[in-house]
Amino acid sequence: MTFRTLDTADLAGKRALVRVDFNVPVDGGKITDDTRLRAALPTIAYLSKQGAKVVLLAHFDRPKGKVVPEMSLGFVAEPLSKLLEQPVAFASDCVGPAAAEVVNGLENGGVALLENVRFHAGEEKNDPDFAKALAANGDVYVNDAFSAAHRAHASTEGLAKLLPAYPGLSMQRELEALDAALGNPKKPVIGIVGGSKVSTKLDLLNNLVAKLDRLAIGGGMANTFLYAQGHDVGASLCEKDLADTAREIIAKAEKAGCELLLPVDVVVAKKVAPGVETAVRPLDGVQADDLILDAGPESAKRLLAAMDASITLIWNGPLGVFEVPPFDEATVSAAKHAASLAKSGKLVAVAGGGDTVAALNHAGVSADFTFVSTAGGAFLEWMEGKTLPGVAALEN
């Protein structure tokens, strides 16, 4: 992938339309986690410093093309201005006279936030006329919302065709990290894919076995693979109807020379609850009423050794029910090991997806990974090998 980068742009006095992701969690009108606002700060600050008029475009919730007052982005302006330490003007619409008035009132370096782009049906339909109406308030377009890049909407894809288009600093960092993990990685590459169901990650598994040197499968989805290999998984979560599919993936991995790492021992209990009695079982020792809830110590040890033998790691999904200790042990030990290898420069460790981010935060190691993507759907679609419209639109 090749992109024009912001440091090559002529920005002084220009109106920079910046697509950000401000779809933040809210409780009682207050933002409960401002991670997404903070992610946009470097790009906004850079543009402002270069003398651009910074015009922010974002969506919030799902108003489905209608004006829904409780889904207005107005509440974001004040917390954002505090983080930026400069005023943020707010426009009651993202197109038309209300938007133009606020944008035209900006001084060089000033920042404005426009109203929810999804208040217009043309946004999600990627309507060319709506994209033109958005473009009327900009001279350059900057996409800093990787998390929305898997959608071909007017503000993520349509605009990029109408104005000189650049990735923002956050988007650029994400794309460079993803390229280092799967586009042009240093080999050998190991993947970890966990989570509860194989059915939600079929495209992902099929893409990865063709690209990786090793792939560790954990979580509930590992049970389906073990069952497909003839092991009894007791009362565990298992998609028995996908046994043939699992066998096809195993065969595909073998043909591609990708070593599959499935659990060789498991941690079981009779129910999922803190403080329950647990046991470590070999694969042939799982009882009829056992629930497999984590990978066992031998499996974890094997995974750590496989990381030691790799140069690049890409991770999506936990290895067990990490939310309920002690079924977090395999996930935590793998996360800590990967983080320590990454910190010492021995491993490029890239992770993403909601559960994965939560698991790495639980292990206290997110900051030591090379890169942790908070973009759920877009990260997964990229791992599946799909083209992301918002990314493709930025390519030179």
Indicate which residue of 14, 15, 19, 36 is catalytic. Answer: 36
Cα–chain center distance at 346: 23
Give the distance from CA 90 to its chain's centroid. 28
Q: Which residues pair with 269 in a beta bridge?
A: 291
C-alpha span between 24 and 145 (Å, rounded): 13
Report phi then psi at 393, rounded to 5: -65, -20
For the annotated binding site, the residues are 21-23, 36, 59-62, 118, 151, 201, 323, 353-356
Q: What are phi and psi of 126, to 5 degrees?
A: 55, 45
Contact assessment for residue 73 and residue 132, using Cβ atoms and an 8 Å cutoff: no
Residue that is written with structure tokens 């790495």 in the block: 360
> What local confidence, expressed as pLDDT, does residue 70 receive?
95
DSSP-derived pairing of the beta strands 189-193 and 312-316: parallel
**Distance in angstroms (rounded) separating the CA atoms of residues 394 and 346:** 32
* Residue located via tokens 């390229």: 179
Q: Is 13 known to be catalytic?
A: no
Taking the C-alpha atoms of residue 191 and residue 351, their distance in angstroms, rounded to an integer, is 10
CB 298 within 8 A of CB 277: no
pLDDT of residue 375: 87
DSSP assignment, residue 186? P
Euclidean distance between CA atoms 97 and 130, whole angstroms: 14
The letter for the amino acid at 360 is L
- pLDDT of amino acid 77: 97
pLDDT (0 to 100) of residue 107: 98
Helices marked H in the chain: 35-49, 77-84, 96-104, 121-124, 128-135, 169-178, 202-209, 220-228, 243-256, 297-308, 329-343, 354-363, 376-383, 389-392
Q: Are the C-beta atoms of residues 15 and 53 closer than 8 Å to each other?
A: yes
Distances (CA, A) of 71 to 59, 60, 115, 392: 9, 6, 10, 29
Please report the pLDDT score of residue 121 as a whole number: 98
Walking along the chain (396 residues) 10 residues at a time, the average pLDDT comes out as 90 98 92 93 98 98 96 97 98 98 98 98 98 98 95 97 97 93 94 94 95 97 97 98 97 98 98 96 97 98 98 97 96 98 98 91 96 90 93 89
Quote the percentage of the chain above a pLDDT of 90. Answer: 95
pLDDT tens by residue, 339-362: 999 999 999 999 998 799 999 999
Tell me how far apart the alpha carbons of residues 201 and 353 are, in angstroms, rounded to a whole number. Answer: 12
Determine the pLDDT at residue 38: 95
- From 51, 65, 285, 354, the catalytic residue: 354
Picking from 359, 358, 361, 339, the residue whose alpha carbon sits closest to that of residue 349 is: 339
Residue list for the binding site for ATP? 201, 323, 353-356
Structure confidence at residue 193 (pLDDT): 97
Please indicate whether residue 302 is annotated as part of the active site: no
- Kindly report the pTM of this predicted structure: 0.90
Rounded to whole angstroms, the Cα distance separating 210 from 224 reads: 20
Quick one: pLDDT at residue 353? 86
Contact 234, 226 (CB under 8 A): no
Q: Which of 281, 377, 385, 386 is catalytic?
A: 377
Got the DSSP string for 1-39?
A: --B--GGGS--TT-EEEEE------EETTEES--HHHHH
Q: What is the pLDDT of residue 354?
A: 75
How many distinct helices (H) and strands (E) make up the chain?
Answer: 14, 17
Whole-angstrom CA distances from 136 to 97, 181, 394 are 11, 37, 19
Residue from 132, 173, 197, 386 carrying the catalytic annotation: 197
Which residue(s) pair with 193 in the sheet? 217, 316
pLDDT at 108: 98
Is 109 labeled as catalytic in the residue annotation? Answer: no
Q: Is 377 part of the annotated catalytic residue set? A: yes
The span from the CA of 296 to the CA of 182, in Å, is 28
DSSP letter (8 states) at residue 94: S
